[in-house]
Structure 1
Amino acid sequence: MPPTTPQPPVAPPPVPSLPDLAITRAADMAMSPHPDRGAKLRQCIDRLPQAEASTALTLVERRIEEAICRLGLEDVLAFDVGGLEDGLKLVHVLEQGSGGEWRATGRFIRLAAIYRLTPNGSLPLRLSADALPSPTAFHQLPLIMALYKIIGHSLAHQGTSLALQQANNDGAYRIGDQSFRVVPLSELPANHPYRSGYQRTDPVIRHEDLLFPSFWSFLVRLLVGMGNRYRLIRRINHDDPRYRRLLTETITKQQGGIAVDYRRDFGDLNHANPDDDRRLVIVSGFRPNERVAAHLEVWGRIDLLTTEASAGGRSQPLTVRFPTSLPLWRAVLSHFHLGHRVINRFRLIL
């Protein structure tokens, strides 16, 4: 057996500078649910000489820009920082969680813009600290719901605001005319498939007779239900192993899509019929600079949906009519050996 080559020691993480540590502590105070901490911070800010306050604001603005770049949000969000306290609040909010929650929010915002749910269908969304929920509300909500609350008031569908609102005192919420509630981990049966991956920052959601493993998946399902221009339908046997793989196997962004799972359980958490499992595979619209939103719906049949305007008449082949969407659909389907069967045998609904 050849000798093992010694590996160099892993470099320790960089030590934050004193100004960075001071900003972190002040940001925590700015968004603290304890009012006395926020009051003490404001007293400190009020006592700062103008030159020092200006220098501190510059450092805070730089910290916000660094966070936005690190999270890949440059194309979707822009913040009007305002004063020093507002900037510190934004620092705190941008640095919460693992980063995955903000990246998921960014993907949702890109899709929302294509669906014309943002003002004039444009990006970036420009927000100020006034858009932030109160510190108490921010920390009471699961993190990804708190992040959606920041942007939701900027979104609308057919004139209806998509702000996150409390629906009643029983823990129900509403977005537009759709009500839902958070399902706590304690309610899920021991063998429930959504139990092992439960995340308190992005929890299981109940919406009518549908159950979603996360708030993110509920948001995406809500979004795509707001309309696509074209739908291609292909019925397929539930028992086809290729269909089962498309429905259940991991799909990565490197394979061309994002899988969004949910199930119709008729309100019964013990319902376990695999035929009621459903999946969306988002293949376009979540990356920067994409202008078409396209996805697959897998629910006992496979539907292909897109916002892409047809580039040809009904007699034209799909390669001509949907030059952007077709290769993306095909890439995912071909991975499961379904490309020819689905795409070449379809019924088109305008």
Structure 2
Amino acid sequence: MARPSIWLLLLLIGCPSHCPRATQQHSSRRAYHKTPRAIAQYATFGDRLVGMALTVGAEDGQLLVGPQRVRVVPLGDIDVDHPYRQQYDSNDPVVSTADGQLFPSFSACVVWLVATCAHQATRSLAASTVSHPGPVMDLYRTLATSPIQDDIAHVDCASPDGSKHQRVIVLSGARRDNAFAAYVRVSAASASGYVVLGTTEADVEGAEGWLRSAPATGELLRRSARGIGVDVDALRLVDLSGSM
């Protein structure tokens, strides 16, 4: 899985000014150089980029990124069969959140937080859930775990035992020339999951159904899903375009 281009993505997506802020401090030059490179770089100027400052906790490896508590996970604490162990980078280490989700890197965690924060203003366009194994669940898992094109902004996370995977795909909004923001978030566990599609694309007046009310978003979703072998129609997305 390709690592997200964090600094470019942070600059292009940005983050709303209402995101919580905190205070970051590096107690000394020595402490800076002992900190993993990606974390030290973010501590230096991340707050100015996205409004989510970094606070280093009293306990070793404990961090606060904006509102989110995260912990640097040592290589030895990751299950030997977990995919994140194989790609571990001490300069940009695996981190876990307070709810137990593992991110393949600190950079990936920050991109997830930025994408989530930046898309708070989007309207839910369509969604689907499944609570039992079967063909639809298999599609959710494919959408959440299959390799994705490097030019599509996305970020993944997983449970410590690797049984649950989540992914956010930024369909639009990661480039300066994008006219609107849109994303799809997918979660896939062993027997349950969900897909949520959100957008800021303006409604097409009088249109019925999410594909017609936001046609550009629908086309971007189809193109992205098709690239990893998923038919959007088979996801059984329920129209939410008229619920806002």
What range is the shorter-chain TM-score in?
Answer: 0.7 to 0.9
Q: Corresponding residue for 2:53?
A: 163
Structure 2 residue 128 is matched with structure 1 residue 234 = yes
After superposition, the CA RMSD in angstroms is 3.1
How many residues end up aligned between the 2 structures?
223
Show the counterpart of 1:340.
233
CA distance in 2, matches of 1:311, 1:251: 28
What is aligned with 1:25? none
Matched with 1:185 is: 75
Alpha-carbon distance in structure 2 between the residues aligned to 1:291 and 1:139: 40
Task: State how far apart, in whole Å, the 2-side matches of 1:234 and 1:176 are.
Answer: 30
Give the 5 Å matches for 1:91-130.
Answer: 103-112=5-14, 115-117=15-17
How many Å separate the matches in 1 of 2:29 and 2:178? 34
In the superposition, the TM-score normalised over structure 2's length comes to: 0.76
- Report the Cα distance in structure 2 between the residues aligned to 1:133 and 1:106, rounded to whole angstroms: 28
Show the counterpart of 2:180.
292
Any residues of structure 2 matched to 1:1-350 within 5 Å, and which?
Answer: 103-112=5-14, 115-117=15-17, 135-155=29-49, 162-208=52-98, 209-226=100-117, 227-231=120-124, 232-236=126-130, 238-240=133-135, 241-254=138-151, 257-264=152-159, 269=160, 271-272=161-162, 274=163, 276-299=164-187, 300-306=193-199, 308-313=200-205, 315-335=207-227, 336-342=229-235, 345-348=238-241, 350=244
Using the aligned pairs only, state the percent identity.
24
Secondary structure of the 2:92 match is coil
Deviates more, 1:144-153 or 1:243-252: 144-153
Alignment partner of 2:12: what SS? helix
Higher relative contact order (CA 8 A, sep 6+): 2
1:45-86 CA-partner distances (Å, limit 9, x unpaired): xxxxxxxxxxxxxxxxxxxxxxxxxxxxxxxxxxxxxxxxxx
CA–CA separation in structure 2 for the residues paired with 1:177 and 1:332: 30
1:204–1:214: 8 Å Cα contact kept in structure 2?
yes
Alignment-mate amino acid for residue 219 of structure 1: V
1:118 and 1:277 map into 2 onto residues whose CA distance is: 29
Confirm or deny: 8 A CA contact 1:164 1:174 kept in the other structure: yes
For structure 2, list consecutive stretches of 5 or more residues without a partner in the other structure: 20-25, 188-192
Structure 1: which 5+ runs fail to align?
1-99, 120-131
Q: What amino acid is aligned across from residue 149 of structure 2 in structure 1?
A: T
The normalised TM-score by structure 1 is 0.55
